[in-house]
Structure 1
Amino acid sequence: MSHHSLYGEVTARIIAELEDGRLPWVKPWDPSRCPCMMPRNAASGRYYSGINVLILWAAGAGNGFSSQRWLTYRQAEAAGGNVRRGEKGTTVCYADRFVPRNEAARAQSEGAQAKTIAFLKRFVVFNLDQCEGLCDDLTAPVELPDPVLAIGQADRLIADTGADFRVGGVDAFYAPGFDYVQVPPQAAFPEPADWYRTALHELGHWVGGKGRLERDQTGHFGSEAYAREELTAELTSAFTCAALGIEPSVRHSDYIATWLHLIRADEKAIFRAASAASKAADWLLSCGQRLD
């Protein structure tokens, strides 16, 4: 199967979810079976990012897995266990670039910079629930964040960004021209977690501003550029919430039709948005260290 078809495969799955009115980043697990968490590699401890978060969240929810810890076939063997016979893995990917041989030769002869070509490489992972005989270190229960502590962490994150963060009014927004975030008081939200989800969505826009990640935020309401930015902020909030132990929710469900149009028109759009969201979430989550 070609690398290009991987874009199409994943995009088709996301489109199907959106057409059914489901957002793959909103409660992408059964809380009674799987706690709120970002997917990670059980052997290396490394968290997955970008489109792989959505792929693995969907696989975990669809199969009723009890965790978001994953291994390759070889990692399962190296850990003293194995993937159970008959289990079907989940395909994830990573993006890379390479320089074709003829392009390298041309650049060398002309003293110019070689042009690179982007490609996707796919590999297959299995959930811990699909494995047996693994060492205790891998199968030990994950320590879950306390909901109260998660809210405390979110408060610290907001403060550590150094953003001009204003509480008041009736609307939540980021004003790029003046570079500030405004969110209504917590009393305006049904649940405390809703306030934090909204705040992190708006900070998802803020972190894309000038002097930070420098995303294109010039799109007007209803444009594709605006839809891309909203999708990126939505995913940034979801990824940051999950990393903190707050269940992701949706800030702008009324944009589903616009997102569908965007993703149908460009099979790489959801990949780009998820990649940008991972960068933004990482930026926000590292704010405390940035100020040390």
Structure 2
Amino acid sequence: MSQTLHQPGGRTSLYEEITDKIVRQIEAGTLPWVQPWAGGPALSLPVNVRTDRTYSGINILLLWDALFAQGYAANRWLTFKQARELGGIVRKGEHGTTIVFADRFTPKADDDTSADDPPRAIPFLRRYTVFNIAQCDGLPGELTLSIPPISHREPVASAEALIAASGASVRRGGAHAFYHARDDYIAVPEQDQFFEPINFYRTVLHEMTHWSGAAHRLNRDFSGRFGSQSYAFEELVAEIGSAFLCAALGIVPTVRHADYIANWLAILKNDSRAVVSAASHASKAADFILALQTRQSEREAEA
């Protein structure tokens, strides 16, 4: 099921719908990338059970929001059609969750169009509806089995392995955590300086998300100074990206830079596409970093 929404004639766009929802959440003190409960298994990345693919970008935040609101036990989703293909059915009366697919539309050139200035592609979002497996009956048993919680030791080992595989220069010591773009290194205090040892890894993952944006990696905009909108946008990318990395490793995401919240709200209210763009950059950053470990594992297997 899909529906395209853009904004002819003043109709609210899907970009605005998503942004307004996230702005309301942030203003209420609930960040959509932070698990709102304590204890229990860590948040995971949402997966489509039919394709076994992990959702990406803004769809992760949209599905996490539904997971938090409805209290679903498993972060596994599928469309109405996919449920039927698997021999199941969505229960009558269940309401789905909106996710989106980014696409582009290029208008046809007309007689007044210059060859030197061809029509530009216009980005838009296409709406889809998915359902949690808890909203379905008749699915194969292996799809509905609960996922065992990750041991509290495994995330630490996974984080250490990811840091090592990335090849990032991580300098431990000092009183501040930051990514130094010019010299391409991450600085972070020693682990025993953190009130909770796991916060060391949350912090490194935040800075590694910045690290991924270097010109010779994903080439994000680092030109903004502290206090500027571009600086705050990069911090939003790193905040969301580190949450995605934490979820992939079984670490509960938390707020790393709450002092930027006012700046984030200003960005989102000024540009309805900003949160979709930030989540897209964050997802690409997380995928880039996780892929480095995958490639190292493949090289070790071939050796």
TM-score by length of 1: 0.92
| Partner in structure 2 of residue 94 of structure 1 | 101
Report if aligned partners of 1:30, 1:64 keep a CA contact under 8 Å in 2.
Answer: no
1:70 aligns with 2:46: no
Amino acid at match of 2:6: H
Distance 1:84 1:171 in 2: 52
- Of the candidates 86, 110, 116, which is equivalent to residue 79 of structure 1? 86
Distance 2:208 2:109 in 1: 44
Q: Whose helix proportion is higher, 1 or 2?
A: 1
| Partner in structure 2 of residue 2 of structure 1 | 5
Amino acid at match of 2:232: A
Greater displacement, 92-101 / 244-253: 92-101
Amino acid at match of 2:292: C
How many pairs does the alignment contain?
289
Aligned-residue offset at 1:101: 3.8
Q: 1:273 to 1:29 in 2, by over 3 A?
A: farther
Distance 1:30 1:200 in 2: 21
Distance 2:239 2:191 in 1: 19
Q: 1:20 to 1:160 in 2, by over 3 A?
A: same
- Of the candidates 174, 182, 187, which is equivalent to residue 169 of structure 1? 174
Amino acid at match of 1:280: A
Report if aligned partners of 1:29, 1:36 keep a CA contact under 8 Å in 2.
Answer: no
Aligned-residue offset at 1:115: 3.6
Distance 1:106 1:273 in 2: 36
Distance 2:23 2:83 in 1: 32
5+ residue gaps, structure 2, are: 8-12
| Partner in structure 1 of residue 50 of structure 2 | 43
| Partner in structure 2 of residue 237 of structure 1 | 242
| Partner in structure 1 of residue 10 of structure 2 | none
Distance 2:256 2:278 in 1: 16
CA deviations 1:235-267 (Å, max 9, x no partner) are 110000001111111110111111000100001
Amino acid at match of 1:282: D
1:129 aligns with 2:137: no
Distance 1:31 1:42 in 2: 26
Amino acid at match of 1:127: N
CA deviations 1:174-207 (Å, max 9, x no partner) are 1111111000011111212111000000111011
Aligned-residue offset at 1:143: 4.5
Report if aligned partners of 1:42, 1:71 keep a CA contact under 8 Å in 2.
Answer: yes
Q: Give SS of 1:286's match.
A: helix
Q: Give SS of 1:102's match.
A: coil
- Of the candidates 172, 182, 185, which is equivalent to residue 190 of structure 2? 185
| Partner in structure 2 of residue 24 of structure 1 | 32
TM-score by length of 2: 0.89
Distance 1:237 1:55 in 2: 17
Report if aligned partners of 2:73, 2:146 keep a CA contact under 8 Å in 1.
Answer: no
CA deviations 1:209-259 (Å, max 9, x no partner) are 121001001111110000000000001100000011111111101111110
Amino acid at match of 1:21: G
Q: 1:288 to 1:249 in 2, by over 3 A?
A: same
Report if aligned partners of 1:145, 1:244 keep a CA contact under 8 Å in 2.
Answer: no
Identity %: 48
- Of the candidates 62, 68, 77, which is equivalent to residue 61 of structure 1? 68
Q: 1:29 to 1:101 in 2, by over 3 A?
A: farther
Amino acid at match of 1:25: W
Report if aligned partners of 1:93, 1:121 keep a CA contact under 8 Å in 2.
Answer: yes
Residues 136-175 of structure 1 mapped to structure 2, 5 A cutoff:
136-175=141-180
Amino acid at match of 1:94: F
Aligned-residue offset at 1:102: 3.4
Distance 1:169 1:111 in 2: 54
Amino acid at match of 2:251: I
Distance 2:172 2:209 in 1: 16
Q: Give SS of 1:171's match.
A: coil
CA deviations 1:15-60 (Å, max 9, x no partner) are 011111221111156754x652101111111111100011000011
| Partner in structure 2 of residue 256 of structure 1 | 261
CA deviations 1:64-104 (Å, max 9, x no partner) are 1111101100111111111111111011001022333437x
Report if aligned partners of 1:28, 1:58 keep a CA contact under 8 Å in 2.
Answer: no
5+ residue gaps, structure 1, are: none
Residues 281-292 of structure 1 mapped to structure 2, 5 A cutoff:
281-291=286-296, 292=299
Q: Give SS of 1:250's match.
A: coil
